[in-house]
Structure 1
Amino acid sequence: MEKTTYKRLKGSQSLRQRLLLSTLSSTPISISEIRDDDMMPGLRPHEVSLLRLFEAVSDDCSLVINETGTQFKYKPGTIMGGKNLVHNCALSRSIGYYLEPLLVLGLFGKKPLSIRLRGITNDPRDPSVDTFRSTTLRILKRFGVPSEGLELRIEARGVAPGGGGEVLLTVPNVQTLTAVQWTNEGMVKRIRGCTFSTRVSRDFEHSMRFAARGIFNNLLPDVHIFEDHKSGPQAGNSPGYGISLVAETTTECFISADTAVSCGRRDETGELDVEKVVRLPAEDTGVEIASWLLHEIEKGGVVDSSHQGLLFILCALCQQDVSKVRVGTLSPYGVETLRNIKEFLGVQFVFKPDPHTGTVELSCVGSGLINLSRKLS
């Protein structure tokens, strides 16, 4: 029997991307020294949950975690996809933490993916499920992912610390991704958005909408922010509210920003984070997120900073042709993504900074990943 050779890595950083790129490139990995020096060493609940999610959508993968959780070995299997899957996400991170790698995995599965995720839908740390629905799915379509079968349905809201939210994600299969020439961000032509509230008064939503519109109406006329008040079982287990905004440009770029406010959330160790217990007034929340969206637009680029990592991964996975994209200031997450792509896929990007706009143009030749397990009709 052939002995497995593992790529040896250290530390807890970039765990999601390492797992994703390991699976797509069929590279077994061994990660050690995971928070060795912390008061609570080892993998956090959401990281263990993510590993179990990879197991759920794959066949014949191997995962061995040591007793302290400071080291594990992962050997990828075949990405299967499948219908009627259910995964309960750990409440130390929101569903958005799991969605980014899951979307890419689903594209290269043997069968279309349909999975129900339960947990926290809106959280200030990770992109919300609203942002994935309004922005992330549209980015995938740029790379040749068909609209049919690509959907994220929000069936219940859930904020920290109790969660209780539920979404249904469906992802079609592709044989390969199409290279893109995507460098013109265009001009903003409309603003769309959504406010939500769970187990609190609708007045919170009215205040956020009014404050956000007060900023945007001075700049452009086409602004519409919808309301999504939840009650009963659809309102999850904790009170909270939030807002998600997206700016659409004349070249069909989507720039997003979102946040959520809850009574208090649990940190990575599972303890209640008392710093988050104090609520921002709803008006301040609306002003803050509207201002942040304008800041993202000002940076330039075809995606906002939270989507840089996904954009670079999609370019690196494309057919063996040149992809060219423009982003604003490179985020730390984006830089780390570029390093991981080089390590696992051998794809290097060429940088061309534009001193006039402060943006960066990146180009690469895709790795040409082909979905060999996809069922052809």
Structure 2
Amino acid sequence: MTTGTPPLKFTTHASLRRRLLLATLTGTPVHISSIRPNSLKPGLTPSEFSLLRLLDTITNGSHITISVTGTTLLFVPGLISGTNNSQLSHTLPENCARGATYYLELLALLAPFSKTPLNIALTGGVITAATEDDYSVDTFRTAVLPLYANFDITRNIEVRIVSRSSGPVGAGEVHFVHAHQVRLPRTLHLQTPGRVKRIRGVAYVSGVSAGNNARMIEAARGVLNRFLADVYVYSDVKSAQTVPVDYGKEGAVEKARGGVRASGRTRKIGVGFGMALVAETGTGVLYSADAFAGPAEPAEDVGRRAAYALLEEIRIAGAVGRTGVMTMLTMMMMGVEGDVGRVVVGREAVGEEFVGVVRDLKSFFGSEIAVRDGEGGNLVVTIVGKGVGNVGRKVA
């Protein structure tokens, strides 16, 4: 980045994570104002503060300036340095409202372009299950990470769930390792969705009866086996996490630092169950769906809800599921300069998330993204690579 480069200016907290990601990839400073100015708790949330700390840790030379009220942010990114072949432990706030994939998705996009491998352990207020705003770590592992094979990024990549935990307050642990750095990703041409040939999934429980898994799996198979015989859902049973009784409550961490945190009194959190499903076509396209149990919701309803959500995803998506839109478009834009990549997107899958990604890519890369009608009512998205790539990787 050239010294004195004027920052791109944005307002509101919407798409804050995506803009910080693109700023880091392109080396472009960003200025974001009017972050929840009218909220009862204005400014950045604990989840967003934690994200900024994580970015500062895995980069070298980043500068972050936050106003006193937290409603204005200036982020000047540095070089993506990685963790230098050692494991970094990043502790999320106890009251973190976002799922672990809020951080993992960003790390996975930065890792191929880092100077050294990434090896990060997310601890503290980690929610591994699906939430209202984020999909589960199981979906990230089975449906998002495999997308990088389209760009020839496949080696030494692993996500391991050490401790499961559900929301709204989590206490899990997830390890993420990514040691396949590239200079530039391969140009993508993915225009044939193909037919679904198999469905896989994970039914998980933490702190409740394992019988919920069997009931979810039976209900989901009752829906999916009418369309496909090759359906297998793995059952994962974990214990709930035991934490101090005031864990996750406002001011609890500050009290603990003063030595006055509740001692000897504990409670279990992260209790719940859910299901993550992924369908794979003959051309390697992946569609995914998540469902997590609501208050007093029967396991059978969760299984059926996950199955119907997957069928809906298959119906509306093209050659990329909605969970993979940001990953695919960003990697295509980072590709070889001048090379034209194409991917088919379902017309009904084009929503607020897709439009936001396209607008932000144009702002940071200065390049238009072409969209035209394709076969079967789908849309063909065409992107010309900008050749940004990995500035920290030596060219052999």
Match of 1:23 in 2: 24
After superposition, give the CA deviation of every residue in 1:90-127 in whole Å (9 maximum; x if it has no partner): 42101011111111111111101111112111123312
Determine whether 1:85 maps to 2:88.
yes
After superposition, give the CA deviation of every residue in 1:49-92 in whole Å (9 maximum; x if it has no partner): 11111011111100011111100111101111112111122421
Match of 1:181 in 2: 189
Closer, same or farther: CA 116–2 of 1 in aligned 2, 3 Å: closer
Closer, same or farther: CA 2–343 of 1 in aligned 2, 3 Å: closer
Deviation at 1:232, TM superposition (A): 6.1
> Which stretches of structure 1, 4 residues or longer, exceed 6 Å deviation after superposition?
none
Match of 1:314 in 2: 331
After superposition, give the CA deviation of every residue in 1:119-174 in whole Å (9 maximum; x if it has no partner): 111123312111111111110111111x2211111111011133121111111211
Match of 2:12 in 1: 11
TM-score by length of 1: 0.91
Deviation at 1:203, TM superposition (A): 1.3
SS in 2 for 1:241: strand
Deviation at 1:231, TM superposition (A): 2.1
Deviates more, 1:122-131 or 1:181-190: 122-131
Please give the alpha-carbon distance, in whole angstroms, between the structure 2 residues aligned to 1:284 and 1:347.
Answer: 45
Match of 1:304 in 2: 321
Determine whether 1:254 maps to 2:286.
yes
> What are the within-5 Å matches in structure 2 for residues 58-137 of structure 1?
58-82=59-83, 83-90=86-93, 91-118=96-123, 119-125=126-132, 126-137=134-145
Native 8 Å contact 1:124 1:258 kept in 2: no
Match of 2:377 in 1: 358
Please give the alpha-carbon distance, in whole angstroms, between the structure 1 residues aligned to 2:390 and 2:278.
Answer: 32
Deviates more, 1:123-132 or 1:105-114: 123-132
Determine whether 1:239 maps to 2:246.
no
Closer, same or farther: CA 108–234 of 1 in aligned 2, 3 Å: farther
Please give the alpha-carbon distance, in whole angstroms, between the structure 1 residues aligned to 2:36 and 2:168.
Answer: 24
Match of 1:326 in 2: 344
Please give the alpha-carbon distance, in whole angstroms, between the structure 1 residues aligned to 2:3 and 2:196.
Answer: 56
Please give the alpha-carbon distance, in whole angstroms, between the structure 1 residues aligned to 2:331 and 2:235.
Answer: 32
Q: 1:166 aligns with which of 170, 173, 194?
A: 173
Amino acid at match of 1:188: V
Native 8 Å contact 1:247 1:256 kept in 2: yes
Amino acid at match of 1:100: E
TM-score by length of 2: 0.87
RMSD: 1.9
Number of positions where the alignment pairs a residue of Structure 1 with one of Structure 2:
360
SS in 1 for 2:307: helix
Determine whether 1:221 maps to 2:229.
yes
Match of 2:49 in 1: 48
Please give the alpha-carbon distance, in whole angstroms, between the structure 1 residues aligned to 2:66 and 2:377.
Answer: 44
Structure 2 unaligned spans of 5+? 244-267
After superposition, give the CA deviation of every residue in 1:13-54 in whole Å (9 maximum; x if it has no partner): 111110011111111111111111222211111111111110
Deviation at 1:259, TM superposition (A): 2.3
Please give the alpha-carbon distance, in whole angstroms, between the structure 2 residues aligned to 1:250 and 1:327.
Answer: 17
Native 8 Å contact 1:165 1:234 kept in 2: no
Native 8 Å contact 1:175 1:371 kept in 2: yes
> What are the within-5 Å matches in structure 2 for residues 199-214 of structure 1?
199-214=207-222
Structure 1 unaligned spans of 5+? 262-275
Please give the alpha-carbon distance, in whole angstroms, between the structure 1 residues aligned to 2:378 and 2:312.
Answer: 14
Match of 1:148 in 2: 155
